[in-house]
Chain A
Amino acid sequence: MAKQWTCVEAGCDATITAPDADAAIELAQAHIAEVHDSFELEDMIEAVLVDVTA
C-alpha cells in the first residue's frame, strides 16, 4: 500500500505519495526543508501518513 502525506504549513497543501513509509518520510522532509526552510521529524510524518492505492 502506498503512503500519502499532506503538508499543513499555512498556505501550503502539497501532497506527496510514495511507495512506502521510508520514502514518504524522505520526500516530506525534503519538501519542508526546500519549500519552508524548516524541518519535520520522522515520527511526526509517520504519525499522519495515509494509506492510498498506488
Chain B
Amino acid sequence: MTSDVESKFHFSRALVEGEIYRKYEKAMRKHWTVEDLDFAQDALDWHRISPEQQKGLLGITIRFLAGEQAVTDELVPMLAAAHALRRFDWTMFLATFLVEEAKHAEFFMRWHEAVVGIVDPAEVAPHFLTRGKTIDPTGRFEVRDVMHEALPSYGRILHEAALGGTEREIERAFVQFSAAYNGFVEGVLTMPSYEIVIDTTTQWDAFPTLKQGFKLILADEGRHITFGTSACRLLIEKDPSYEEAVHEVFDAYRGNIVGLVEYQKAVPGLDVGKYQTMKVRHYRNRCREMGVKPDDTLIEQILDPSIDFVVGVEAG
C-alpha cells in the first residue's frame, strides 16, 4: 500500500538536484515573450533594402517560419516516451521545450506579419525557396528531407514504442529520435543558419529585432539541444549499444550535412567556408555531449572543398 501511494509522487531530492531539472528551472527563469519585442525598425529596414536583399532574407526567414512549426508539431513522441520511462524531470523540461518551440513559431509569424505584411499560407508560400531534389554530381551522397521524413518517421517509431514497447525499445527509439531532432537538425544542421542570419543583419546594419529574436531563440535552443544530448548520454551510459542508433541517423542523412547550407550562397558576401568548419565543431560537440565517438569520415567529407552541392535546409 505504501509503495502504491509513493508511486503517485515523482519529486525526489536526486531529481531536483539533477541536470535535467536544473534545465527546467533555467527555462522558467529565462522566459521571454514575443509581445515584448518591437518590430518598428525592422519594418523600416525592410523598405530600405534592395529587392535582391529582400528575396535573399525572406528565403531564410520563411524556412524558419516553416521549420519552427514543424519542430513544434513533432515533439509529442518525446513527451510520450518521458512518461513511459517515468522520467518526470524530462516531462517537466519538455513542457518548457514545447512552449518555447511554439513561441519561436509565433516570433516568425509576428515578424513576417509586422515587417513584410504576410501571414496566411497563400501569402508566405510563394516566398518559400523551393529546391528540386538536390543531386550530388558525384553520385556519392543522397540528399533526403530530414525535417519531413526523418522526424515524423523516427517520431512514429518512438511513439509506438512508448505506447507498447519494452523499456529497451523505448530507450533505443528515444536515442534515435533525439539524435535526429536535437543532435542532427537542431544541433548541427540549423546552427550555421542562425549564424548566417546574425552575420547578415550585422553586415547590413539592419533588422535589430530579427537579430534579437534569433539570439533569444538560440539561447532556448542551447537548452533543447543539450537536454537531448544529455538524455542520450544517460541512456548510452546505461546501454552502450544505443550509440549505434546515433551513428545510424547521421549516416542515413549524411548527404544533408556534407552539402552546403542553401543560405550560404543566398546572401552575397558571406564566408562559405566558415559555416562548413562550424558544422564540424557542432558535430564534434554533439558527439562529446552524447558520449559517442565522432565519425571521422563524416568530418573529412564536411571539410572537403570538392563536395559543394547545395542543400535546402528548413531550420527549427
Contact = CB atoms under 8 A, between A and B. Distances in A.
Given A38-B274, A38-B278, A41-B219, A8 B288 contact: yes
Nearest to B230: A47
A48 interface: yes
Contacts of B278: 9, 36, 38
B289 A38 contact: no
A43 interface: yes
A38 B223 CA distance: 19
A10 B303 contact: yes
B195 A10 contact: no
B175 to A, nearest CB: 17
Given A37-B274, A42-B222, A44-B225, 13 more contacts: A8-B281, A8-B284, A8-B285, A10-B277, A10-B303, A36-B277, A38-B195, A38-B274, A38-B281, A41-B221, A41-B222, A43-B23, A46-B226
B136 to A, nearest CB: 22
A34 B277 CA distance: 15
**Chain B contact patch, size range:** 20 to 34
A42 B29 CA distance: 15
**Chain A contact patch, size range:** 10 to 19
B80 interface: no
B230 to A, nearest CB: 7
B78 interface: no
B216 to A, nearest CB: 12
A43 B225 contact: yes
A48 B303 contact: no
Contacts of B69: none
A54 to B, nearest CB: 22
Interface of A: 7-10, 36-39, 41-44, 46-48
B229 interface: yes
Interface string B201-230: 000000000000000001101110110011
Interface in B274-307: 274, 277-278, 280-281, 284-285, 288-289, 299, 303
A38 B277 CA distance: 11
Given A9-B280, A10-B280, A38-B274, A43 B223 contact: yes
A44 B289 contact: yes
16 contacts: A8-B281, A8-B285, A9-B280, A10-B277, A10-B280, A10-B299, A38-B281, A39-B195, A41-B219, A42-B222, A43-B23, A43-B222, A44-B289, A46-B226, A47-B289, A48-B288
A8 B219 CA distance: 20
Contacts of B285: 8, 44, 48
Which 6 residue pairs across A and B have the least CB separation, nearest first?
A41-B222, A43-B222, A8-B284, A47-B226, A43-B226, A9-B281
Contacts of A39: 195, 198
Contact of A44 (B23, B222, B277, B280): B222
Contacts of B284: 8
B284 to A, nearest CB: 4
A48 B75 CA distance: 25
A48 B91 CA distance: 23
A48 B289 contact: yes
A42 B218 CA distance: 10
Contacts of A9: 277-278, 280-281
A41 B187 CA distance: 11
A37 B198 CA distance: 12
